[in-house]
Structure 1
């Protein structure tokens, strides 16, 4: 069995909304068509010559990567240029590429969340607040006999969540008027006559990520030929996304003991460490991929140890002077883990297609 790429894209954009990506980033469908038929997906961290070889050999129709295959501006796409050759071969073999990068880092259930859970952290919260989710109010007018089906359809599509409460809505009874004109096929009334109908005004709150889906679900079950509804942006904010996470261990450990945990969970033999090896740690901050100085102060104040990657020399010196403990487990190792989770999630939601993780990827750095 197969599905179209747009169904996969819709799911990925619900998991990691594109508007969460940093301004400099390039995410979404970078190569291919939304109407392509998808039977097999390859999930990877990096779209490299090796993963392209693998995708061709496994007859993948779509690659889902964390790092964007097109990041900086391109002036040419040809076989002689390393990046151009990758793109050229993907197009030639009709393989699409969808990339979820910094938006997947900060998303709920994304890279930082998964890394935190993998390391055994609980009471997980944002290390540094990043973006707040936009909320909207949907108002729709429904005849009495259809109000429950319309309200339930919107709720199933994600509307009506306030904190830990679901199916939240408000309904007001009233009278709707309309006059069906020539060429219409009204659910109620006759052409040319003014109709007055007992209706409910149903209003509910919806997050931006679910807005389109909720509207489509509402229109699908609504009995009217032309559905009357309004959408209002709200000043109140929804879910707060963060740069990095912070959580607590089940019990405090020495830094040396926790280093062993990091190595085991990330399947690495070596890490770089800043700080006192005998220090006890209980609160842990994580920041996947390359360390960003924007979270330096938060990591210092909120955690006993920071797990990250790609720490630069001068940042390391500052961390040492600040008395911080830091585990640099590498860019590759702190982000590659999300491939397993994506395979699991996509397979659960699309059991009719095959989803596999690349087995051709390795950290470009060697320990000699």
Structure 2
């Protein structure tokens, strides 16, 4: 199959028009006329992922995070990003990014996160898109049965890939949790939305100290904070499935990278 056909299918699933204005989505490297047999899905297009793609003889990496989010004046191989570009081109590996357009897709990043931690039934956006209320940032849904915050936190840890960051919670461990709001990736901008929908708990990543402590002091949802990479990783399998369905089973050989590319590699709670 030609790379241009795979790019077109990805654009149909995650239209670039859905991306934020500051984002950098779509093709990064690759000849549209080249053949594609193997596709690797990953959160971050870091050196280790590029090496995995080359070792597996992948023709395309579909990544969630952009390699070149901010403007550059060169891609010399003396920098990590430059080396990645050189390695990709030298080995004929294309790179495609679906970032904030995948965040707001239906289904998208937060749908996959919600399902991974046990949220069942219908999901609705925390912040619906203006042109389609099915799409938008974050998701809200319910658990099959209410559980305690402690039990839900443990379920999150089981449902997401393990990281040094782990899973942290703010709130009464015995508090009842039934309605769950989630946002894959950094989601402290949606704290107010999680409270507004009446969620019992809000699961996201990268919660900063001041917004989290101020939010926790108010009467609202408990907070659960996981690693950024871990909250977005479940989407890879969903993107893999959707692309396979769009192009037809057997058209491509696909694989989800299990490399942990979260920035943090060591965790020590200290003496208690």
Structure 1 segment 199-238 matched on structure 2, within 5 A: none
Aligned mate of 1:330, from 204, 227, 236 = 227
Corresponding position: 1:300 with 2:212: no
Cα distance, 1:31 vs structure 2: 1.4
In 2, the alpha carbon distance for the partners of 1:279 and 1:96 equals 48
Unpaired runs of at least 5, structure 1: 134-238
Structure 1 segment 10-89 matched on structure 2, within 5 A: 10-89=8-87
Unpaired runs of at least 5, structure 2: none
CA deviation vs aligned residue, 1:99-158 (integer Å, no higher than 9, x gap): 10011111012111111222232231111123414xxxxxxxxxxxxxxxxxxxxxxxxx
Secondary structure of 1:50's counterpart equals helix
Aligned mate of 1:312, from 200, 208, 214 = 208
Corresponding position: 1:342 with 2:239: yes
TM-score, with structure 2 as normaliser: 0.90
Secondary structure of 1:37's counterpart equals coil
CA deviation vs aligned residue, 1:141-197 (integer Å, no higher than 9, x gap): xxxxxxxxxxxxxxxxxxxxxxxxxxxxxxxxxxxxxxxxxxxxxxxxxxxxxxxxx
Equivalent residues of 1:90, 1:96 under 8 A apart: yes
Structure-2 residue corresponding to 1:263? 157
Structure-2 residue corresponding to 1:357? 256
Structure-2 residue corresponding to 1:272? 168
In 1, the alpha carbon distance for the partners of 2:79 and 2:161 equals 33
Cα distance, 1:246 vs structure 2: 0.5
Cα distance, 1:90 vs structure 2: 1.0
Secondary structure of 1:8's counterpart equals helix
Cα distance, 1:64 vs structure 2: 0.5
Aligned mate of 2:135, from 220, 235, 241 = 241
Aligned mate of 2:96, from 98, 114, 117 = 98
Q: Aligned in 2, Cα 1:100/1:131: closer, same or farther, shift over 3 Å?
A: farther
TM-score, with structure 1 as normaliser: 0.67
In 2, the alpha carbon distance for the partners of 1:247 and 1:281 equals 11
After the TM superposition, which segments of 4 or more aligned residues of structure 1 sit over 4 Å from their partners? Answer: none
Structure 1 segment 166-205 matched on structure 2, within 5 A: none
Equivalent residues of 1:51, 1:361 under 8 A apart: no
CA deviation vs aligned residue, 1:26-50 (integer Å, no higher than 9, x gap): 1011212222211111111110111
Cα distance, 1:240 vs structure 2: 4.3
Alignment coverage as a number of residue pairs: 260
Equivalent residues of 1:131, 1:240 under 8 A apart: no
